[in-house]
Structure 1
Amino acid sequence: MSSYREIDVLDETKPILLVQDTDTRKMYVKKPIPAHNRELYNKLQVFSFSGIPQIHEFCETEEGLFLYEDYISGQTLQTVLNESFNLPEDAAVDIVCQLCDILSPLHRCDPPIIHRDIKPSNILLTPSDHVILIDFDASREFDAGKPEDTVLLGTREYAAPEQYGFGQSDARSDIYALGVLLNKMLTGTYPRYERPAESLGEIITRCTALLPEQRYASVEELKSALISRSSKSLPPCPVRKSHPILAFLLSIAAIMIGSSLSIPTKTSTQHLMQDHICVTLWLLFLVMLLCNIGGISDKLPILRRSTVSGFLFWMLFSGFLAAGLLRLLYLF
């Protein structure tokens, strides 16, 4: 321990410290761990799983057992949710899919390693949008010979029913937590209060079923369901991809249509010009949506969910806006 210099306190409640190796100058996280988890952490160190911090070494003192693991720069998902309440659908699904990739080799161990405490504060997001799963203090190895967990651990709302003594936790317990997590990222609350509609809501409902056998059997199956959900939605029209040439041709057509607008004979020349300008701008806006000029379609939440219905919504919305502008101009 003398070869490490304390730099900062990362968590005062545990406590977890940021330290630096005085020889290599490399940064590590020093944290206390329960003595009964030493064997589990030994296995995590040997296997070097991707998506979790690499364990450097252990140190046992009179104060207890400590481990030193790689320091990974980033912020917790809890911090992100505190700032933005919820996440876009694509970002939330990507985080869960990355967690599935992290949990997959853990669940395939013999015996399987179950995290049992998947929640926003235990998920680290790096600047490059990689997901890191931390804090395995509540983890355990699945024991087929035990009818229930001997130690009840986990976090309320995220812990599966079997973690409260109704059975033994296994890989499906982590799947339950992933369903709650996905719901939290999308709605800002828990499944018992509100759930997303359509396919993602169905996936969350299956993940959080009370009976483990009614959930997805593996994280691989859950990830497959999340990926395939997009193929069940409406086929994309030219909104996702930018089409500058098509946009140029459609813009010319929009200008021609707007300039040749048919109007009542009693309309004044001034109002005629206003009509032409408003209709032309409205048509050009639709061209921008249709061809995703400047990535405008990707920035509109409704278009991110359903291409066709989103386009129709913005067409009607912008049409009413143009009509309102025309009405306003007629007052002057």
Structure 2
Amino acid sequence: MNQNHTKQYRACRDTFFKTLYHFDTPGQSLVIDETSGRLFLRKELTYYDPSVYQFLMGCRDSRLVPVFDAWQEDGRFVVLEQYVQGELLSERLRRDDLSAQEKQAILHDVCGALEVLHSASPPIVHRDVKPENIMVTDSGRAVLMDYDASKRVKPAQSRDTVLLGTRDSAAPEQYGFGASDVRTDVYGTGKLIAAMFGDAPIYHHVVEKATRLDPKRRYPNIAALDRALSRFDKPIENVNSWGWLKVISTALCVMLAFALCRTMTFENSSGPAEDLITQIAFFIAQLAVIEVWFDWTGAFDHLPFRKQGQVSLGRKIVEKLIYGAVFFCLILIMAVILILCIFGA
């Protein structure tokens, strides 16, 4: 089909589309195909990579928005893509009504969508991974949207020529410190994890590695990041899922600490000062064992002040009390030892 025939075809086809709504974003409108009843989003772009949309027109992955057509018209680039119904992830996070498992599923869908883009030749980099560009469908699946900032990777390019991205989620290379590649989306996904899980300790290492300033020190690709996230797929639901070996080992450690401290206090004591030191050591040992047990088995995840895998103010207070008590006892021990050294037992 030559160019004239293509224009005639689109002009004829456009007569079947009716505009229903103009969005606040300039050049975006909701249209309906009156012959089929299907809804589409019509976008007029000023910055674009036509090859990205050519790839998407042939892609049929449920985690990406289906692109029906894309063409240049009067100096503009027009995209007609399927309208995805659901709710933005940013809204769901604002309401805080997603469980940790639902968030994990969303992250896996986002990683899967990025893997599809990165599998293109050359790879396509999304460059704007954020909650506002992810739609959560009624079935709980995630769809990665908005490819306006997407581009093909150019191996010979030393830095991005057009600086695009969202503040607080864009990688350093998007600000001219290098050229975007698949690791740019690793950075964006790391920021997304941080936005979804806050300061949850179990995600600290993953977020830290994914968002390193030097792309060479990040996960090498989105598949590696997805595998790292897979370690958190099975939630701790009850004591049986912690593993009896951990529970028995922890119990033995507690019993040993009790037995050891009891023996030191009542049998080997040479005076009140040593009794005091022993009691303080006993207190520190028990605090340490309790903290290790909570952290190792994941019991903190089931206490009232834990919510959706995030660290609440309650846990922070408990931890500060524990570590504060330990620090105070260490200072007290040092003071007692110093007094004994100066004045004698």
TM range (shorter): 0.5 to 0.7
Q: 1:83 aligns with which of 88, 92, 95?
A: 95
Deviation sequence 1:62-95 (CA, Å, 0-9, x none)? 37221111112101112222333x8543232221
Q: After superposition, where does 1:62-211 map in structure 2 within 5 Å?
A: 62=74, 64-84=76-96, 87-187=98-198, 195-197=199-201, 199-211=202-214
Preserved CA contact (<8 Å) 1:53 1:70: yes
How far, CA to CA, are the matches of 1:54 and 1:208 in structure 2? 29
Residue 3 (structure 1) shift:
1.7
Partner of 1:29: 41
How far, CA to CA, are the matches of 1:299 and 1:38 in structure 2? 52
Structure 1: gaps (5+ residues): 188-194, 241-296, 314-332
Residue 60 (structure 1) shift:
4.0
Root-mean-square deviation over aligned CA pairs: 2.9
Partner of 1:53: 65
The one-letter code sitting in structure 2 at the alignment partner of 1:137 is D
SS at the partner of 1:117? coil
Partner of 1:222: 225
Matched, 1:3 2:33: no
Partner of 1:42: 54
How far, CA to CA, are the matches of 1:59 and 1:22 in structure 2? 21
How far, CA to CA, are the matches of 1:131 and 1:234 in structure 2? 24
Structure 2: gaps (5+ residues): 1-13, 243-300, 319-345
Preserved CA contact (<8 Å) 2:68 2:82: yes
How far, CA to CA, are the matches of 1:223 and 1:34 in structure 2? 33
Residue 58 (structure 1) shift:
2.8
How far, CA to CA, are the matches of 1:31 and 1:303 in structure 2? 39
Q: Are residues 302 and 79 of structure 1, via their aligned partners in 2, closer, same or farther at CA, if it must alter by over 3 Å?
A: closer
Percent of counterpart pairs with the same letter?
A: 29
The one-letter code sitting in structure 1 at the alignment partner of 2:160 is D
The one-letter code sitting in structure 1 at the alignment partner of 2:192 is L
Preserved CA contact (<8 Å) 2:115 2:223: yes
Residue 7 (structure 1) shift:
1.3
Q: Computing the radius of gyration over CA atoms, which structure comes out larger, 1 or 2? A: 2
SS at the partner of 1:47? coil
Residue 167 (structure 1) shift:
0.6
The one-letter code sitting in structure 2 at the alignment partner of 1:174 is D
Count of aligned pairs between the two proteins? 241
How far, CA to CA, are the matches of 1:300 and 1:63 in structure 2? 59
The one-letter code sitting in structure 1 at the alignment partner of 2:164 is L
Using the size of structure 1 for normalisation, the TM-score is 0.65
Residue 305 (structure 1) shift:
5.2
Preserved CA contact (<8 Å) 2:197 2:309: no
Residue 217 (structure 1) shift:
0.9
Partner of 2:239: 237
Q: Are residues 74 and 304 of structure 1, via their aligned partners in 2, closer, same or farther at CA, if it must alter by over 3 Å?
A: closer
Deviation sequence 1:230-259 (CA, Å, 0-9, x none)? 67x97952489xxxxxxxxxxxxxxxxxxx
How far, CA to CA, are the matches of 1:226 and 1:151 in structure 2? 32
Residue 116 (structure 1) shift:
0.1
How far, CA to CA, are the matches of 2:147 and 2:305 in structure 1? 36
Preserved CA contact (<8 Å) 1:298 1:304: no
The one-letter code sitting in structure 2 at the alignment partner of 1:116 is R
Q: Are residues 196 and 43 of structure 1, via their aligned partners in 2, closer, same or farther at CA, if it must alter by over 3 Å?
A: same
Greater alpha carbon shift after TM alignment, 19-28 vs 157-166: 19-28
Deviation sequence 1:191-217 (CA, Å, 0-9, x none)? xxxx331x3111111111111111111
Deviation sequence 1:161-209 (CA, Å, 0-9, x none)? 111111111111111111111111122xxxxxxx331x31111111111
Preserved CA contact (<8 Å) 1:87 1:186: no
Using the size of structure 2 for normalisation, the TM-score is 0.63
How far, CA to CA, are the matches of 1:14 and 1:96 in structure 2? 30
Partner of 2:31: 19
Q: After superposition, where does 1:252-291 map in structure 2 within 5 Å?
A: none
Preserved CA contact (<8 Å) 2:200 2:309: no
